[in-house]
Chain A
Amino acid sequence: MLATSRNFKANAELGLANATLQRALAKAQTGFPLRRRLAVERLPEFEALREEGRAIKDHTLAHLDFYLELFEQRVIAAGGKVHWARTADEACAVILQICRAVGARTVTKGKSMVAEEIGLNEHLAANGIAAIETDLGEYIIQLRREPPSHIIAPAIHLVKEQIADTFRAEHRELPSERPLAEARQLCDEARKVLRPRFLAADVGITGANFLIAETGSSVIVTNEGNGDLTQTLPRVHIVLASLEKLVPTFEDAATLLRLLARSATGQEFSSYTTLSTGPRRAGDLDGPEQYHVVLLDNGRSALLGGEFQDMLRCIRCAACLNHCPVYAAVGGHAYGWVYPGPMGAVLTPSLIGIAAAGHLPNASTFCGRCESVCPMKIPLPKLMRHWREREFAAKLAPRTVRGGLKIWAFLARRPALYHALAELASRALGWAGRERGRFRSLPLATGWTLVRDMPAPEGRSFHSLWAARRRAAR
C-alpha cells in the first residue's frame, strides 16, 4: 500500500472538516471503551494476565529463531508447507505462485492487515486473479476502493447510508427499489452476495492472530465466520502471517486469547477462535487439500534487540486506537498507511522509515491512555518519543520546530538565564494582557490561539513561588 503518512497534517484537517466522518467517529468513541471497561472489570485477573502476556511475548521474541524453526518442523510434520518472505514483494510472489500452481481464478480472503501491508489484492488483480474480501467491513471498503481506517473495524469511518449507496451502485443485479435503510438489511445482502463467492473460490487466504510453535497451528479469531468459510471451502488455504505472531504453546495462546477479545471489542471471547493444523486428513469430508504458511519479515527482525522491540508484542487488538483522542478526532485514514492510531504511529516508521512516516509519532498528546489500555503493556508514548528523537536527529522535523527546540535546549541548560527570561516574559505578558485577562492571538502561536484564547499570566511565576516556599520551610 502506498503511504501518504507524510501528509498527516493535511489529511487530519480533511478528517476534521468531514461532517459524515465525524458522525461515524462519534458513534465509535463511546462503544468500544465502555465495552472494554465492563469486560475488564468482570475478570479480576486481567492485570495479572497482562503481565503474563507481556512475559510470554518477550520470551518468544528473545528466542524467535528457535520457535520459528520449531513451528516450521511441526507444520511440515502435519503435511503443510512453510514459505519465508523477507519483503512484501517476496510474499506477494510466493502467494501468486501457489495460486497459479492450482490454476486459481478467484480467491476469498479473511481480514488480514498483513495482506494490506504487502498490497496483496493489487498484486493478484494485476496478475488476473480476483481477490474477494469477505469480512463485512473489508468487503464494504473493497467495493469503495478505500483502505481500512481501523485495524479491527475497517469500515468504522462510514455511516450506514454510505454503505447502502455503495451496495446499490455495486450490486446492480439486485432490484433497485429494495430497502437498505437498516444495518440488518445490509448484512443480509452482503451475506447473500458473498455466499456463492465462498463456494466458488479456488484459494482461501487468511491472516493469523497467533502461530503455535508446539503444534504448527495457525489461529484466527473472528466474529463473522467468514475466516472459517474462507479456510474450509477452497482447495487451498494460505496463511499469511508476520514473524512476531509466534507463541510457544497452546497454553500461551490461551493467555493471550483471554486478553485479545476483551481488549478489542469487550467480548468475553470472540464468536470463532479456530486452530488450523495442516491440510485435510485421510477420510475427512471437507477442508483444504493444501495448507501453506507464508512467514513475512518485512522489517520486523530488524526491530529485535533495539528500542522498538516492545512493539513486536502487539496483538492488534486496537484498544490503543479506541482510546486515542487524536484517532477519535481525525479518523484512521489521516495516518496514511495500513496501521493507524498509536500503534500505527510507532509501527509505521518502524516498517516504512521515519522519512516516509513523517508526522505520525507527533500525532499524540502523550495523554498515555494507549499505554494504560494496551494488553501487552507496550510503552507507546515512550516509543513515539524515540521516533521524535530520531526525526529530530535526522533533521526531518520542520525548521521552526528544530530552531525552537534548540533555543529551548540552550536556555534549559542555563537555569539562571531561563528563570530570568521566564520571569521577564510572564511580567511582560501580564502587563500586555492586564485589561482583557487573555490573548486572542500570540505571535509564533497563531495555530494554538486559532481555536482558544491564551490566559494572561497573573501574579508571580511558579519558580518564584516555589523558591519562596522553600525559603519559608527552612
Chain B
Amino acid sequence: MSEARAQILSGIRRALRRGPVDPATAAELRARVAAHRRNLIPARAAALGHAERVALFVAMAEEVQATVARVSSAAAVPDAVARYLSGENLPAELIAAPDPRLEAIPWHRRPLLRIRRGRAEADDAVSLTPCFAAIAETGTLMLISGAQTPTTLNFLPDTHIVVLHEDQIVATYEDAWDRLRAHAEAIGGLPRTVNFITGPSRTGDIEQRIELGAHGPRRLHIVVVADRCGAGDGEEREGG
C-alpha cells in the first residue's frame, strides 16, 4: 500500500505541476494550521450577552424539537428529571454517565429515581449525561467521549436527558472548540469522539416527511441549570 501512497502523492504533484511543497510554503502551511484562524463568524450569536445567549440557545434547541427545562440550581435537577419522566410516562429508571458533575447532584431528594451508572446497553430506555459545552448559534450540544462520558449514552436509549449549566453555553462552534482545545491540552489529546447534537434523531427518507427517532433518541430533553458548572471549566458569567 505504500506504493499506492507514493503514487497518489506524486500524481497530485504532477497534476499541480510542481514537486513537494518547498520549505517556505510548508512553513507557511504549518503556521496556518497552528494558528487555526477563525473564518467569518455569523453575527447571530457572536455579540450577545449572557442572558440573550442562553435565550437564543433555548429557542434554537426548541425549534428542532428538543425540550428544555430551566432550573435555578443543581439541587433542583432531580425534581426536574422526575417531573419530565412522569410527564412523558417514562419509567423512573436511568442509565447515567459516571461523571462527577452528575454525582454532585443531590439525587437522594428523589429516592424513587433508580440510577445505574455506566455505558448504555441495548435495553436502556433513558440516559442521563452531562455535556461539555453548548452552542447558542444553532441550539447545539457538544458532548465528548471519555472514561466518565461513554458515547453509547448519547445514541442507544430512546430518551436522552442532558444536564447543561448556563456558563457552558457559548456563542459559536469555534468558541466551543477553543474550550475543547484547552481541555485536550490538559488531558493530553483530543477525546476519541466529539458529538455535536442538535435536537433528537430524525429522518426525512420516506417522502420527505420528518419523523423523529430514526435510530438515535426520539426525545432530547435539556435541563439548563442557572448556577455554575461543578467541574469548573467555566469562564466569566457575563459574556459578550
Which A positions have Cβ atoms within 8 angstroms of B?
24, 27-28, 31-32, 43-45, 48-49, 52, 56, 62-70, 78, 83-86, 90, 94, 134-137, 140, 153-156, 158-160, 163, 183-184, 186-188, 190-191, 194-196, 198-199, 213-215, 217, 223-226, 228-229, 231-233, 243, 248-252, 254-255, 257-258, 265, 267-281, 283-287, 295, 297, 301-306
26 residue pairs of the A-B complex, CB under 8 angstroms, read A45-B42, A64-B12, A65-B20, A68-B8, A84-B4, A85-B4, A94-B1, A137-B203, A137-B205, A156-B208, A186-B206, A190-B214, A223-B202, A231-B193, A249-B32, A251-B174, A254-B173, A267-B64, A268-B63, A268-B139, A272-B196, A285-B118, A285-B152, A286-B119, A286-B151, A297-B8
**Contact between chains at B147 and A159 (CB < 8 Å):** no
Partner of A268, one of B198, B201, B207: B198
B157 to chain A, nearest CB (A): 11
Nearest CB in chain A: distance from B231 CB, A: 17
Q: Beyond A64-B12, A287-B193, is A271–B205 a contact (Cβ under 8 Å)?
A: no
Expressed in whole angstroms, the minimum distance between the Cβ of B134 and any Cβ of chain A is 12
Check B147 against A251 for contact (C-beta < 8 Å): no
**In angstroms, how far is the closest chain A Cβ from the Cβ of B126?**
16
Interface centre among B16, B118, B213, by most A CB within 10 Å?
Answer: B16
B64 nearest CB across to chain A (Å): 7
| In the assembled complex, B36 has its CB within 8 A of some CB on chain A | yes
Q: Which positions 202-233 of chain B face chain A at CB distance < 8 Å?
A: 202-209, 211, 213-217
CA distance A28 to B205 in the complex (A): 11
Residues of chain B with a CB closer than 8 A to A270's CB? 198
Smallest Cβ distance from B171 to chain A, in angstroms? 12
B21 within 8 A of A: yes
CA distance A84 to B2 in the complex (A): 7
B135-152 interface mask toward A, CB cutoff 8 Å, 1 = contact, 0 = none? 000111000011100111
Assess whether A223 is in contact with B195, with CB atoms less than 8 Å apart: no
A-B contact count (CB 8 A): 264
* A269, B136: Cα distance in complex, Å: 12
Knowing A229-B155, A283-B147, A285-B147, the reply to whether A255 touches B39 (Cβ < 8 A) is yes
Q: Once bound together, how far apart are the Cα atoms of A464 and B193, in whole Å?
A: 70
- Give Cα distance in the complex from A56 to B39, angstroms: 9
Residue B130 interfacial (CB < 8 Å): no
Segment with Cβ contacts to A, from B85-93, B103-111, B184-192:
B184-192
Q: Which of B4, B29, B204 contacts A86 (CB 8 A)?
A: B4
Residues of the A chain whose Cβ atoms lie less than 8 Å from the Cβ of B145: 281, 284, 286-287
Contact of B203 among A86, A187, A199, A285 (CB under 8 A): A187
- In the complex, A196→B64 CA distance in Å? 28
Selected contact of A69 from candidates B9, B172, B196, B201, CB within 8 Å: B9
> A-facing mask of B18-48, CB < 8 A → 1, else 0?
0011000110010011001111101110000
Tell me, rounded to whole Å, the shortest Cβ–Cβ distance linking A370 to chain B: 20
A137 to B202 alpha-carbon distance, docked (Å) = 12
Partner among A65, A135, A304 whose Cβ is within 8 Å of the Cβ of B205: A135
Residues of chain B with a CB closer than 8 A to A45's CB: 40, 42-43
Closest to B135 in A: A269
Task: Compute how far the CA of A251 lies from the CA of B140 in the bound complex, rounded to whole angstroms.
Answer: 16
Q: Are A66 and B26 in contact (CB under 8 A)?
A: yes
| In contact, B216 and A274 (Cβ under 8 angstroms) | no
Q: Is B154 an interface residue (CB 8 A)?
A: yes
Q: Is the CB of A305 within 8 A of B17?
A: yes
**Nearest B residue to A135, CB-CB:** B205
B7 at the interface (CB under 8 A from A): yes
The chain A residue with its CB closest to the CB of B201 is: A225
* Residues of the A chain whose Cβ atoms lie less than 8 Å from the Cβ of B43: 44-45
Closest chain-B Cβ to A327's Cβ sits at a distance in Å of: 15
Note all chain A residues with C-beta closer than 8 A to B190. Answer: 78, 215, 217, 275, 277
Q: Is B36 a contact partner of A255 (Cβ separation < 8 A)?
A: no
Interface string of B45-65 (1 = CB under 8 A from A): 000000000000000100110
Question: Is A187 touching B206 in the complex (CB atoms < 8 A)?
Answer: yes
A94 vs chain B, min Cβ distance (A): 7
Q: For A84, A153, A225, A274, which residue has the most chain B Cβ atoms within 10 angstroms?
A: A225
Q: Are A223 and B204 in contact (CB under 8 A)?
A: yes
- Determine the chain A residues whose CB is within 8 A of the CB of B112 once the complex forms: none
Query: CA–CA, A232 to B173, complex, Å?
Result: 23
Kindly state the separation between the CA atoms of A51 and B144 in the bound complex, as whole angstroms. Answer: 31
**Given A49-B40, A65-B12 in contact, is the A183-B4 Cβ separation under 8 Å?**
no
